[in-house]
């Protein structure tokens, strides 16, 4: 009986190793021990340093840039002007507002004139400058705001965030949190004796690839997501143990691979599961004492910078599709911003407004969300515009 059991376990282990390794070829989120120190392509790394790297912020869109997003195999052009913000359609209007944040502020996957800032400006006598950068956290957005020079016209500043920022602000190397983003080293704030301190970007423009591995070793000790997320997802012998540790998620991925590996939408199915996992994890961090204390300290820091610049600050919560759908857990961040952060400044949480709409049409991908469509940008523009008018 014991012999049969051992044979069964060995058979399962061998089958699992084969399945996981095959799935890994098209699913980067299955991790192996070698993924701790991934191979850096010299050309890609040098291109990143030359075109995107920023010591202060992690990465940034360079001035006078013309770039392209992709959606359904279509190119979507965007432009960054000489002053570092996204192109205004009517640049002669007063630069009354400036907005900072990640891709939901930048307006990924829509044209320059389709962003929510431009849709507001179109109906107004002022512009909302768009300093959004894809994949930014609240920490990076605040730092960019701090070091940006404005004209005398600018009186208001908008910080736009997605709820997942509670994780992004604690990430030092994105690869530990967002598997595969190996160039994403960034500065981060941390609390020590109740003081908000800044740990600078560990990467430098002169850092050689051979020295990155020393940086990774240090990040393993200071980035909480190495222990809490990355390490727990590494497949090593016995694979069965790793598989059982995240059984429900791993089973879904294997199922998708077996039944949809030849389906052209397989990556969308994978991304849906990744998004579900990431969003649920992010929501739970709103119950973590250190996380919410750090987030609150960052918002206070943002408000203080605005006071020094003589600006009136606002905070806008721009939920992703999964944030809206997970109504059992999204109350964690809804309550946090309503009960804690609204004491510091004016807050607009768009979550409740999306719950009243047929939300799938407002996002670029009905499976996992992606970003706001042109109509999605128009929808939030009307709500944000009303909020700004009410809180001048």
| pLDDT (0 to 100) of residue 46 | 97
Contacts with 166 (C-beta within 8 Å, 6 or more apart), sequence order: 282, 285, 286, 291, 292, 295, 333
Residues 280-301: pLDDT tens digits?
999 999 999 999 999 999 999 9
Rounded Cα distance between 236 and 33, Å, is: 7
Structure token digits, residue 203? 């990467």
Contact predicate 59/53, CB 8 Å? yes
Rounded Cα distance between 374 and 379, Å, is: 9
Structure token digits, residue 77? 């052009």
- Average the pLDDT over 67-88 and give the result: 93
Taking 90 as the threshold, does the pLDDT of residue 3 lie above it? no
Contact predicate 147/131, CB 8 Å? no
Q: How confident is the model at residue 157 (pLDDT cuts 50, 70, 90)?
A: very high
| pLDDT (0 to 100) of residue 331 | 97
- Mutual angle of helices 266-285 and 331-339, in 10-degree steps: 40
Out of 221-225, 265-269, 379-383, least confident range: 265-269
Taking 90 as the threshold, does the pLDDT of residue 358 lie above it? no
Contacts with 25 (C-beta within 8 Å, 6 or more apart), sequence order: none
3 state DSSP class of 59: strand
| pLDDT (0 to 100) of residue 320 | 95
- Average the pLDDT over 135-154 and give the result: 97
| pLDDT (0 to 100) of residue 366 | 72
Is it true that the peptide bond before 363 is cis, omega within 30 degrees of 0?
Answer: no
Taking 90 as the threshold, does the pLDDT of residue 21 lie above it? yes
Mean pLDDT of the chain: 95
3 state DSSP class of 246: coil
Calculate what percentage of the chain has a pLDDT beyond 90. 89
Q: Go through the domains of the chain in sequence order and give each one's CATH number.
A: 42-233+281-390 (3.40.50.1110)
Q: Could you give the residue ranges of the DSSP H alpha helices within 34-97?
A: 42-51
| pLDDT (0 to 100) of residue 152 | 94
Q: How confident is the model at residue 154 (pLDDT cuts 50, 70, 90)?
A: very high
Taking 80 as the threshold, does the pLDDT of residue 364 lie above it? yes
Residues 46-59: pLDDT tens digits?
999 999 999 999 99
Phi, psi of 5 (to 5 degrees): -65, -45
Q: How far is CA 270 from CA 16, 76, 111, 382, in A?
A: 19, 24, 27, 33
State the sign of the Cα–Cα–Cα–Cα dihedral 223, 27, 203, 79. negative
Taking 90 as the threshold, does the pLDDT of residue 323 lie above it? yes
Contact predicate 318/163, CB 8 Å? no
Taking 80 as the threshold, does the pLDDT of residue 368 lie above it? no
């Amino acid at each position: 009986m014991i012999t049969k059991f051992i044979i069964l376990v060995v058979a399962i282990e061998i089958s699992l190793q084969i399945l996981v390794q095959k799935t890994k070829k098209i699913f980067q989120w299955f991790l192996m021990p070698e993924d701790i120190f991934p191979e850096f392509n010299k050309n890609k790394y040098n291109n990143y340093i030359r075109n995107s790297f920023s010591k202060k912020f992690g990465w940034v869109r360079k001035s006078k840039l013309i770039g392209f997003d992709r959606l359904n195999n279509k190119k979507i052009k965007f432009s960054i002007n000489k002053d570092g913000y996204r192109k205004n359609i009517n640049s002669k209007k007063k630069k009354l507002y400036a907005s900072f944040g990640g891709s939901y502020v930048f307006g990924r996957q829509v044209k320059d004139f389709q962003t929510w800032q431009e849709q507001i400006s179109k109906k107004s006598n002022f512009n909302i400058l768009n300093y959004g950068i894809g994949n930014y956290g609240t920490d990076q957005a605040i730092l960019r705001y701090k070091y940006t020079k404005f004209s005398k016209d600018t009186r208001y500043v908008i910080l736009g965030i997605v709820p997942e920022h509670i994780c992004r602000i604690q990430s030092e190397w994105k690869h530990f949190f967002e598997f595969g983003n190996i160039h994403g080293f960034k500065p981060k704030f941390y609390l020590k004796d109740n003081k908000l301190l800044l740990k600078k970007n560990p990467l430098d423009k002169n850092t050689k690839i051979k020295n990155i591995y020393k940086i990774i070793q240090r990040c393993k000790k200071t980035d909480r997501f190495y222990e809490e997320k990355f390490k727990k997802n590494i497949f090593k012998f016995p694979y069965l143990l790793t598989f059982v540790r995240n059984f429900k998620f791993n089973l879904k991925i294997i199922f998708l691979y077996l039944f949809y590996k030849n389906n052209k939408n397989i990556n969308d199915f994978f991304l849906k599961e990744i998004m579900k996992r990431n969003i649920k994890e992010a929501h739970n961090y709103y119950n973590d004492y250190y996380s919410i204390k750090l987030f609150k300290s960052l918002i206070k820091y943002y408000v203080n910078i605005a006071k020094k610049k003589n600006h009136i600050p606002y905070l806008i919560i721009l939920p992703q599709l999964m944030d809206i759908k997970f109504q059992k857990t999204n109350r964690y961040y809804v309550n946090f911003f309503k009960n804690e952060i609204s004491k510091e400044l004016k807050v607009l949480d768009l979550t409740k407004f999306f719950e009243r709409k047929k939300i799938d049409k407002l996002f670029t991908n009905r499976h996992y969300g992606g970003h706001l469509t042109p109509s999605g940008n128009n929808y939030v523009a009307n709500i944000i515009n009303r909020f700004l008018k009410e809180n001048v």
